[in-house]
Each structure stands twice: as C-alpha cells, then as structure tokens.
Structure 1
Amino acid sequence: MRKRVLTIAGSDSSGGAGIQADLKTFHEHGVYGISSLSTVVAMDPQNGWAHNVFPMELNTVNEQLKTALSLQLDALKTGMLGSPDIIARAAEVIDETKVPAVIDPVMVCKGEDDVLHPENLKSLRGTLVPKATVTTPNLFEAAKLAGYRLITNVEELEDAARIIHESGAKHVLIKAGKLVDDTKATDLLFDGEQFHYIQTENFETTNVHGAGCSYAAAITAELANDKSVMEAVISAKKFITSAVKEGFPLNQYVGPVYQKGIHKEDIEVTTTTK
C-alpha cells in the first residue's frame, strides 16, 4: 500500500510554500499527501506582496482532521498553525495516531517582521514541539524556542539544540545556514547524545521561498518510507539542495524553490559527542 502522509499547515496562495509545497514534495517522494488547512495566506500584489493571514476556526480544522484520521496514516508534519487551540489539537493528533511527527515551528511569513503571537509561541514550546520525532527550526525559531534573543555562534547553536531536545523533542534539526561556515549550508541534527553537522555547498540565491516547508516535508515522507531519522534528513538535505539550485523568480517579490526529483548532491556529515 502506498504510504499516506498528513500535513497540518497553512495555504500559500502563490503556491510556493505551506501545504502546496508539502504536497508537491510528498508526490516527489512517492507518498500520498493528505491535508488539513490551518490558515490561509494571501499576498497583496498592489501593496508590495504584503502577507494577509487568515486563521481557520478550530471547528473547520477539526472537520478536516476527521477526514484525515479516518485514513491510515504513516507520518505527519505540521507547519504554520494559527492559534493555541489548533496547536493543541495538532499535539492531540500526534498522540492519537502514534506515527512519526515532523514539527516545522513556523513563526513568521516571509516578508513579515511580526513575530508569532506570544500565546502561540508558548503553545509551540510547551505543547507541540515536545511531541516531535524531529523538529526543524531555523535560527530565528530555534532562538525563540530556546529562550535566546539571537543565536550568534556554534556554542549557542548547540546549547539551543540541547534546550529544545530537553523539552521532549526526540531529534532537533536546526537550519543554521552560513553560521558555521560561510561556504556551506549547514544544519545541526541533535539526538540527545551526538551533534551531527550536515553540510552542502551554499548557493547565493534569493529563490528560497518554500525551502523550509519542503525540507520538513521531505523528512516526513522519508520517515513514512521507513527511513531512520538520519537517513531521512540526509535524503531530504539532498532533495532541498537540488530544489534550491532549481529555484526561480516567480515575480519581482518572490522566488520559490522547485521540488523536482530526488537528486544526488554531495553531503558532508561531521559528528561530535555531547
């Protein structure tokens, strides 16, 4: 039977991120995507591509989840969640399904400066992230989850990974970008015992819209395909590196990554002990 993967996330009307990116990524990994919309994000072309975010009512999300949960699931991921109630419901779904869960703790829309509402951050930190098989924050999100103002060096990066892991997340994957090495795109995977630095060539491009969503979705699909966490992350890193390389300008405001195929990119993994 083809593996089935659920995404609980927001809709990106431009098609580059959110549930749209998740479903494209699932398809490329040979799994069947199922979705529950938590928010709808629209961009205003008359106002510099300003983002307008419309959270779903909890009842609307629940009705979608009734459909999803009537199907046999093999893994799930979460993305942008619009309220503490929806965050709490997503945590319940993880307990109900007992499948591998990838938590992408989305806190802001691209192009927006407003930080996630404090109550949502509190719910993410205390309710949802502790349920994660893997959580995939970027540097900004990792800092918020760990209680840092900013993460500025490797020592703080590793400390943030420890703090997030101690909250309950089984594996913490922090997308560190060029923090470790200006020439490499580096991610830190921490399993509670070892730090795994996963690196690929860094590409100077602004066409990265949807990269975080697609990366997390690729990990989710590979977990559904019975890969270990390390295998899933390395495969997903290859996938997203190729997707970034193939990114293109959609208009003058945004350039999405292009999720097409699973490619063989050079991956370097360096492991150190806690």
Structure 2
Amino acid sequence: MNAETKSRVSVALTIAGSDSGGGAGIQADLRTFAFHCVHGTSAITCVTAQNTLGVMRVDAIPPEAVVAQIQAVIEDIGVQAAKTGMLLNQEIISAVAQQVETLQISNLVVDPVMVSRTGAQLIDDEAVKTLRDVLIPQATIVTPNRYEAQILSNLPINSLDDMGAAAQVIYENLGAKAVLVKGGGMQGTLRGVDVWFDGQKLEVLTTKLVETKNTHGTGCTLSAAIAANLAMGKELWSAVQQAKEYVTNALTDSINIGKGQGPVGHFFSLLHN
C-alpha cells in the first residue's frame, strides 16, 4: 500500500466555537473525529476564554471569515459529513445555512447549541428563530437537549412521553430527517436517556448511567461522533447508536482536571495502556 492510498480517509467538518479549556467545541470535535480515524477539518465561529469553572469571554468570528473557512475546506478537500455546534448569532447562522445549501453539504448533524443543560439561554431569540427556520430544515439529524427541544417543539418536557412527543413535533414541523432528543438534562432515571424519531420509528436509547461531575463537552462529542460515523458510511440509526456508546465510554473515563467540571475522555481506550 503506497502513501497516497493510505491517505484516503474519510473527512468530516466541524463548524463550531473554540473552547480554550479543550473540553468542548472544536477541540472536542476534532478529538472525536480522530478517535474514529476520520480526518477532521474545521470552521471556527467564535473564540471563547473558558476553563472548567465557566466562560469568561466570547468573541465572534466575522461571518465572512466563517464562510471562507467552509469554502476552503469543501472546494479542495471535500467532506463526507459535517456538524454544527455553537454558531453564536443570527448572522453566522444565516451564513452557514447558505453555505450548506450552496455547497450541497450532506450528512449534516445540527447540534442546536442555544440553551445549556442547566436551562440558560446561550443565544438571542432572533438567532434561535434563524437556526430553526433556515439551518435545521437542512439537517440529516438534529440533536437538541431537553431545554432546546422544549423551545423547538413548544412543549414542556418532564417525562419520557414528553421527550417522544417533542421529537415528533420537531420532525414534523422543522424538516430535519431525524431528531434525537437528549436526556442529559433530565432528572432521576431519565438522566442520560435519549429519544429518537425519524418519521417511522420512535426509539429510546439507554446505556449505563455514569456518575461523574466531569461531563463537559458531552453534547459536542455525541454530535461529532454521529458525524464521524456518517462520514465513514454508516447508516444514520447505526451512527447514532455507536455515537451513544462512544460517549458513554468517554464519560466512564472522564478527566478530572481543573477546579470545576472536567471533560469527557475522548481517547478513553488508550488511558489504560
């Protein structure tokens, strides 16, 4: 096998923010891609100053610069899948959505980063509306957490049935090909339980519950793992199942660094060698 043959690997693109603490965002996405032996490319939407204790500052990248990054990757390298994370504002969301359509980016995983797992809104109402109206309809799958699903569906979510109802409403009203409502923000036995709907089947995804405070980057990692599996040619439902397993294992070997909430262990299988 020559070097050229060996270099032909699947490629995925992450369009998201930079996390200076390395636990989430672009940094988590690229580690996740690498673990799956997928070459990771990126378009950075914002730069944050943050650590395990929280976010101290956020600076947006100009929409034109975000567009230039996406075009540079697609026009030369090409990608088999892409994911979006923190897009920060209406202008960036609109620019990204236009590029997805113009460049015909397929296998798009939209992690609609707009509300934290604790319920704090991260982007303004106009940005939420733009995300809902122009980007999510182009998604292969959208992966809202509990609070994001409440906004997207206009339904309260307090039970497993509520999660299923929200997933169906989001699918029917917003146009994504599939919806995965994440249960990381749920309480009790529903914590970590996710609900899938693709217009045909409603499925509940459960794995072992991992007790750890170090869960930073869980949502980014899940959506990146789905994108990585799609880039490798996996069928969507299989990609979601395998991504869920990957995140569970990464939580099992989460990293206890800093004074606050550490990140998941993206290379968990290497930690015991």
Same fold judged by TM-score > 0.5? Answer: yes
Following superposition, the deviation at residue 228 of structure 1 comes to 0.6
The counterpart of 2:70, out of the listed 65, 68, 81, is 65
Following superposition, the deviation at residue 52 of structure 1 comes to 1.6
CA displacement 1:139-175 (0-9 Å, x = unmatched) = 0111111123x41122321221112111101010111
* RMSD over equivalenced CA pairs, Å: 2.2
Asked if 1:224 corresponds to 2:231, the answer is yes
Asked if 1:215 corresponds to 2:225, the answer is no
What amino acid sits opposite 2:158 in the alignment?
T
Contact kept? 1:40, 1:53, Cα under 8 Å: yes
- Give the corresponding residue for 1:74: 80
What amino acid sits opposite 1:30 in the alignment?
C
- Give the corresponding residue for 2:3: none
CA displacement 1:84-119 (0-9 Å, x = unmatched) = 121122222322234100000011467893442001
Contiguous gaps of at least 5 residues in structure 2: 1-7
- Give the corresponding residue for 1:18: 25
Aligned partners of 2:182, 2:243: CA distance in 1, in Å?
Answer: 12
Aligned partners of 2:33, 2:205: CA distance in 1, in Å?
Answer: 22
- Give the corresponding residue for 2:89: 83
Asked if 1:197 corresponds to 2:204, the answer is yes
Higher share in helix? 2
Change (3 A) 1:156 1:108: closer
Following superposition, the deviation at residue 181 of structure 1 comes to 6.5
Asked if 1:51 corresponds to 2:56, the answer is yes
- Give the corresponding residue for 2:178: 171
SS at match of 1:16: coil
CA displacement 1:1-47 (0-9 Å, x = unmatched) = 211111100000000000000000000001100100001111279xx
Contact kept? 1:50, 1:111, Cα under 8 Å: no
Q: Describe how 1:1-274 pairs up with structure 2 within 5 A.
A: 1-43=8-50, 49-70=54-75, 71-95=77-101, 96-108=103-115, 113-148=120-155, 150-166=156-172, 167-177=174-184, 179=186, 182=189, 185-260=192-267
Aligned partners of 2:147, 2:108: CA distance in 1, in Å?
Answer: 21
Contact kept? 1:239, 1:261, Cα under 8 Å: no
Aligned partners of 1:50, 1:38: CA distance in 2, in Å?
Answer: 16
CA displacement 1:194-213 (0-9 Å, x = unmatched) = 11111101112110001110
What amino acid sits opposite 1:175 in the alignment?
K
Aligned partners of 1:30, 1:8: CA distance in 2, in Å?
Answer: 19
Higher share in strand? 1
Aligned partners of 2:254, 2:260: CA distance in 1, in Å?
Answer: 14
What is the count of residue pairs matched by the alignment? Answer: 260
Change (3 A) 1:118 1:2: same
Following superposition, the deviation at residue 67 of structure 1 comes to 1.1
The TM-score with structure 1 as length reference comes to 0.88
CA displacement 1:217-237 (0-9 Å, x = unmatched) = 000000011101111011111
SS at match of 1:76: strand
Aligned partners of 1:7, 1:249: CA distance in 2, in Å?
Answer: 26
The TM-score with structure 2 as length reference comes to 0.88
